[in-house]
Amino acid sequence: MAHQRICLVTLTTAILLASISSTSALAQQGSSTDQKNSTPDEPPVLGSAKYESNVADLSIEVNAVDRSASGGLTSLTYTIVNHGDERSDVISNLLSESEFSYPPARLAAPSLLDENEQVRYFTIMNTAEDCVCPAGAGDDGTPTRVPGGESQYVWSTFILPDNVSKVTVEFPDFPPIKDVPVS
């Protein structure tokens, strides 16, 4: 039974991630003029925030907040950019800070805020009480460190009501990224 639940969550996540590539173009067309132009090889940037520290020169670029066609299940995709020359070892610490007790080394920290209703949404958990987000320990291919001058594409999954059309994306220790459209 537990295996079936894990398979269902894995299948749902795979379908959601597959839909991201088809909806990224729609997100780019429907977003504000502040967004960075993208090429076919790089995702659009709907907003960004810079980490304020003398330890690392990092920024986060929000690429998409895509709700599934059936509603509710929503994927946040973002890029962690290391602008420095050195490898950054602080990423897993920054992105594993969360309001909830997720298993260790999970990149579960982003939250989505509906400014109109003043409701904050956190990364969802599956039936095994694990967040539907990548591991930060590298066991699923997501590195805990980003080499200098490089970036890493990351995702998290949420449940958003159908009436939410834009959100503020929040990460610990980064300024909020406001007015990100939900597509």
Confidence of residue 164 (pLDDT cuts 50, 70, 90): very high
- The number of helices, as runs of H, and strands, as runs of E, in the chain is 2, 8
Tell me the residue range of the domain where 84 lies. 2-181
For the entire predicted model, the pTM comes to 0.71
Residue 3 has φ and ψ, to the nearest 5°, of -60, -40
- Contact by Cβ (8 Å): 148, 84: yes
- Contact by Cβ (8 Å): 19, 69: yes
Distance CA 127, CA 125 (A): 7
**Whole-number percent of the chain with pLDDT over 90:** 34
DSSP state of 140: T
Q: How many domains does the chain have?
A: 1
92's tokens: 């897993």
Of the two residues 158 and 108, the one the predictor is more confident about is 158
The predicted structure's pLDDT at residue 15: 37
